[in-house]
Structure 1
Amino acid sequence: MLDILAITGPIYLVVAAGYLSTRLGLFERGEMRVFGKYVVNVALPALLFNALSQRSLAEVLNPVFLAAYALGSLVAMAVGLMWARKVSGKPLSAAAIMGMGMSCPNSGFIGYPLVAQVFGAATAGVGLALAMVVENLLLLPLALAIADAELPPGAPAESRAARVRAALAQSLKGFVRNPMIHGIALGFLFSLMGWRLPVPVAKAIDLLAMSCGAISLFVIGGSLVGLRMRGMGNDVFAITAGKLLLHPVAVLGAVLLLPPMAHELQMAVVLMAAVPMLGIYPILAQKHGQDAMAAAAQLGATVLSFFTLTSLVWLLKSGAS
């Protein structure tokens, strides 16, 4: 077990350092957004470009990984929607936000550092790129479109389709402008064409990519300061259980059903699914008045994920042995 803690421990120690630095006033919570913008707009695109451009297209473009991640995530989202609607009686917008929380992981800020600790940066970078394609092209647009499909009182039913189309169009615009998608696209292009950057430029991108893991984890810790879970126990428990347990189990089921792929990628896709929900989850939930629930769920999932991820890494390594 000590060797497993040597993998997960450093990740959560950096998260704790971010929390304590913000809690003690070395940084303001709002300043975590600046660090986060650096990771999203600079470090992660550099990392994704490096991971894809330095490997052959056959190594990078893995349809089984994409299918397993997409299928398992859709199952988790569907279960979250049904539970919220049928059991908790939530309106459609709130149900969509709960489904999003159960199916959209923080693959960049936590998933990548975790998989890199287990399998190395190369495998983690490819897994991150493939996961982000699914998240940005399928999961987030779908969840936001469902949330926006709820009609205000007195609105005609035919306006639902128009609202969904508008939400999907807005998601597509965000996808096109996303710097991480630019890094993925350029990485695929360089891999396909066999191009290489000049050495000074390549080394500069390496430096930016290497800064990604530590800063992203630090941001997660600092962003947890001030979050509360009072009065939302049932919803927080459901989202947390769905994200940390249901999602990786659903992805694992898809991995077992689909044709085999490299063993490291099989475990990487399950680990990517097992991390807490995406960092901007409360921000996306704010439009629908669910930001307090989303923030509470994010806090609970991040704290509990130390135990679930440590157990999962131990199980996967035991199975591999």
Structure 2
Amino acid sequence: MESISGALGPLFLLILLGAALGVKRWPSDTFWPSMERLIYFVLFPAMLVSTLATADVSQVPVTRLALVLLGAMAVFGVLLWRLRTQLKLTPGAFTSVFQGAVRFNTYVGVAGAAALHGSTGATTAAVAVALMVPVVNIMCVASFVAAGTLGNASLGKSVMALIKNPLILACLLGIGLNLSGIGLPGWSHDTVDLLGRAALPLGLVAVGVALRPAALLRVDRGVLATNSVKLVLMPALVLVLAWLVGLDTVSRDVALLFAALPTATSAYILARQLGGDAELMAAIITGQTLLAMLTLPVWLQLAGG
């Protein structure tokens, strides 16, 4: 437990630093939205390209990892949809609960995998991102469509945003460079690698800045349902599936890490754009991020024990 806490502790401290900066609104109200765009469109894609273009992906059990991660997402996605009547939530609130249960914070996931297992963990995490990001985005947009919350929002714009998602494009580019044997020749490797190194610390601080402490005052059946799935049931199922398919230690830890991650801060933007309950989404994001600081080490300790 001490080694796990030692690996994840610095990541949580960066998130808390971001939360403090967010409360103080330092250096300005406009700084962090611009920084988030730089991280999302440039730095984090650079990290994914750098990792996937040069890594020995053959060492990652891609098929079994996909079965575990995508299988668990599908199970709880279907379960939540079947229970939507019993949850007695408005369509907008349900989409926020759905996002809270299936989305994951990529910055925390990749940083955590690298902290726990070095370059091997980072490579496995990048593969997990390549597998999960397209699927989770399709699932979430589909939940808005099925719930009927789009209103005046354009489905076409949502689909185009999915197609142009920088994380998806970065994964495709990195895998393409790897499979073609081109890699990142010459100075391009060091340049892209340097850009990528800035993504994780800045991304973690940005996660903290996006938290809304006042949203913690909202505790209802939607918050309880989504937190139960994301922080308890999802990691439990992934741990069982990882054991059943025989994942190695690194892949198991990465799969468990991604299953138990708090939901993505970008879920708030999607909730606002597509008619979800944005205030509920803020409460879910903030609560899960803070609770995950306690639950993540416990799950990883259980897996290692």
TM-score, normalising length: structure 1: 0.85
Letter aligned with residue 45 of structure 1: P
Pair 1:149 & 2:157 matched: no
- What are the Cα deviations for residues 191-210 of structure 1, in whole angstroms up to 9, with x where unaligned? 11211333322111111111
Unaligned runs of 5+ in 2: none
- What are the Cα deviations for residues 119-140 of structure 1, in whole angstroms up to 9, with x where unaligned? 113422332333343232x222
Identify which of 263, 273, 284 aligns with 2:259.
273
Indicate the residue corresponding to 1:41 in structure 2: 41
Instruction: Give the 3-state SS of the residue equivalent to 1:90 in structure 2.
Output: coil
Question: Structure 1 pair 17/146, CA: closer, same or farther in 2 (3 Å)?
Answer: closer
Letter aligned with residue 239 of structure 1: T
> How much does 1:143 deviate?
2.6
Identify which of 131, 134, 138 aligns with 1:133.
131
Pair 1:198 & 2:197 matched: no
- What are the Cα deviations for residues 262-315 of structure 1, in whole angstroms up to 9, with x where unaligned? 331122111111110011111112232400001001111111111001212222
Distance 1:140 1:43 in 2: 20
- Which portions of structure 1, spanning 4 or more consecutive aligned residues, are displaced by more than 6 angstroms? none
Identify which of 195, 214, 235 aligns with 2:201.
214
Distance 2:95 2:26 in 1: 37
Distance 1:237 1:29 in 2: 31
Indicate the residue corresponding to 2:298 in structure 1: 311
Distance 1:151 1:182 in 2: 29
| 8 Å contact kept, 2:18–2:207 | yes
Letter aligned with residue 143 of structure 1: C
Indicate the residue corresponding to 1:174 in structure 2: 161
> How much does 1:55 deviate?
2.4
| 8 Å contact kept, 2:46–2:193 | yes
RMSD between superposed Cα atoms in Å: 2.4
Instruction: Give the 3-state SS of the residue equivalent to 2:147 in structure 1.
Output: coil
Indicate the residue corresponding to 1:77 in structure 2: 77
Question: Structure 1 pair 38/121, CA: closer, same or farther in 2 (3 Å)?
Answer: farther
Distance 1:216 1:111 in 2: 11
Indicate the residue corresponding to 2:289 in structure 1: 302
Question: Structure 1 pair 253/215, CA: closer, same or farther in 2 (3 Å)?
Answer: same
Indicate the residue corresponding to 1:290 in structure 2: 277
Question: Structure 1 pair 285/213, CA: closer, same or farther in 2 (3 Å)?
Answer: same
> How much does 1:175 deviate?
3.0
| 8 Å contact kept, 1:18–1:218 | yes
Indicate the residue corresponding to 1:246 in structure 2: 233
Distance 2:9 2:201 in 1: 13
> How much does 1:89 deviate?
1.4
Letter aligned with residue 53 of structure 2: S
Letter aligned with residue 147 of structure 1: F
Deviates more, 1:285-294 or 1:118-127: 118-127
Question: Structure 1 pair 55/61, CA: closer, same or farther in 2 (3 Å)?
Answer: farther
Distance 2:30 2:130 in 1: 25
Q: Which of 1 and 2 has greater Rg? A: 1
| 8 Å contact kept, 2:47–2:193 | yes
Question: Structure 1 pair 151/55, CA: closer, same or farther in 2 (3 Å)?
Answer: closer
Letter aligned with residue 115 of structure 1: A
Indicate the residue corresponding to 1:157 in structure 2: none
Distance 1:81 1:134 in 2: 19
> How much does 1:38 deviate?
1.4
- What are the Cα deviations for residues 176-225 of structure 1, in whole angstroms up to 9, with x where unaligned? 31222222112111211211333322111111111111001100111114
Deviates more, 1:32-41 or 1:302-311: 32-41
Letter aligned with residue 76 of structure 2: A
- What are the Cα deviations for residues 77-130 of structure 1, in whole angstroms up to 9, with x where unaligned? 2333344421x2124453233122111111x22111111111113422332333
Letter aligned with residue 218 of structure 1: V
Letter aligned with residue 94 of structure 2: A
Unaligned runs of 5+ in 1: 153-159
- Percent identity of the aligned residues? 21
TM-score, normalising length: structure 2: 0.89
| 8 Å contact kept, 1:51–1:187 | yes
Question: Structure 1 pair 55/317, CA: closer, same or farther in 2 (3 Å)?
Answer: same
Letter aligned with residue 265 of structure 1: S
Question: Structure 1 pair 285/98, CA: closer, same or farther in 2 (3 Å)?
Answer: same
Pair 1:94 & 2:93 matched: yes
Distance 2:228 2:34 in 1: 30
